[in-house]
Chains A and B, each alone.
Chain A
């Protein structure tokens, strides 16, 4: 009898395991092999959903960090409303689902050979690969803003040390200082994030350092939940928070880290504390794998999230070009489950069905004042498009009780989404 393709693959895997040692051998089983790279909201949710969809699938999650630090609610950490530990999650429960976790980085992908190379040079074979690498900063895209500059002018756009650095700078600043936030052009992670951050820093200044000023220099003329944010700012932080749009000279063209100076087309602003939210791109492994286009992000099929550039590789979360869906943790989780269902169908020889996805993002404009945006999405003409008539933002005339309720729901959402991914 001739060996089937599956048997041949198993023999190859066994031979590879013998060479590569026992660590890799754990990942080899007789079921379809799916490798997920990236243990954030997208990758972790996808790995778990794959195991749930079909326990025969051998799922390997490649993630170098032992602890995940969540970005949603990290703006609350910056202003001392919350501790960073409340943002941190480990992978024990993920492993308990029967997922093999490799605490290392993926450094290369051979798409035709369906293999991922790990940091130690070992190769991991897959039937389907899911990349969930999140974002990387485009160092140097903003003149003067390189990795060294971020030690003076924190971005705090990947939660962790940068979050705490910005917090310490705000705490150390004398009353009366100028705080500047530079917000980037689209697309970037968490579209309402810069404006929630501005709101909470304004709240911090109002209560702790009321002679201070906050300037938001924006590379855009419009932003997420704009009317709600601006109405709340006029009500809560008049004279304290000023937003400068692109058309009024808001676009920051260069920065000088040593003097904390931000240069725009219209002038210079010397800050006591400057938070530069820089241009971004898909996490590095996406580029290495050849799934990014010239924008730096990853075009995908809206039904399966399979790359339009490399067969057998799916991209989910912030790295993907997901049409009308924003780069949010909720969207990442929603995409992860759709992608998992599609991958489970594909490895079983089935056909994935057309999905429907949801996003909901809460923002705090004060500790007890929440607003939200929601959307429903479906594949339309090859893109993930808004379902007409659905979605939108919180009502502009909502009573304060509704704003309070949305602040409570925001926290509940965080518990739920982190429970989905890590709990």
Chain B
């Protein structure tokens, strides 16, 4: 077996064999000091290479696995320091083929901002969801959609709306009202009977099998009927798309307005909050519940009440109070490196279920903490999100065994940032599985490699105390939590789904 010095040297030289890479990886996992040592040697190695004089006579051997260098930075420094135009002009000429940074992109054109009693015939969507071009089939309820160009549209189910672009949609069935600010002037709604072009206004549209009617509440719209000349409709006027139809008085009361959706959303939020309160209280009676923070503590509180029987309260460090899923629901915002909630879960547990309602603002760190045992090793548990968006349950080995990471497929993409999500993970020693859930749906089912009991001990929400003194890993969460619960048993799919209702 090679010494650590030799393994590190082979890494630096780029000559590690696969077996040596595996060996070094294992040793690094089990020895934090070796990691620090490797990084120190790596940095010193890089600095020593940078001190190389520009011209050194002698044999040049390019190690097999070392990446080929186009030229050393010492060359760049010298060339540029001399303001040698030649090299820079070369860079200039290269501009055209320089690749730009790879940026995340989105195809979305609008966002669902509010919803009341929504039931969908198309894929279910919740407020906060960015919408890409496609068909929305609302079975019942009221949905408010904001187009990226600025137009706000309220649709009442049953309705069918096809999003075409950030400034255009087609309504084939149902009622909608639109508020089009000056910035969104030119917003178009197509119907089977013709097209409406908005000139900065508020209007209502009622499309049914027999006809389509436009009611203008404010400003002016253009009506483009098939095979007819354009008609202009002013404030207070209404007209059907049918041929030879006459002008009528607009009837605002037959359309859901933005004010109405505000009022109905508030009512719906309140009733959902009350329903949650009732369910939450029921959950507290479960003897397998080891921790339950509902985050409904006083806003000046710096400790979190644990509603589980005999559970210890949590301690808030840094995190500040904010609004949760509903206006009456409180939550903690984790923003800074220091923000966290400290808690403790005593004893060993054979099975485990953890669930959280959280809003992720972004994945700033390589690993972003949800719930993490303090330190690492000896069956501790780390529940976190990787920068790439995988949800990871990491379980440390015992007696020198390596740890195992149970990763879900990528779940957190930019479209999911800023929205409340329910996550759950189950450690099931009977089925020998780890299962990840998101918003009540099974996300991943992974074979359990080591079913030994877990030891959670002191842990943190939204951060990690790794207990190393000199170098402390930064894994804080950028986001908020408004409910956290932990059971020492396996919760079934129905129970997890019920938490998301």
Partners in one complex: no
**Which A residues form the contact surface with B (CB < 8 A)?**
none
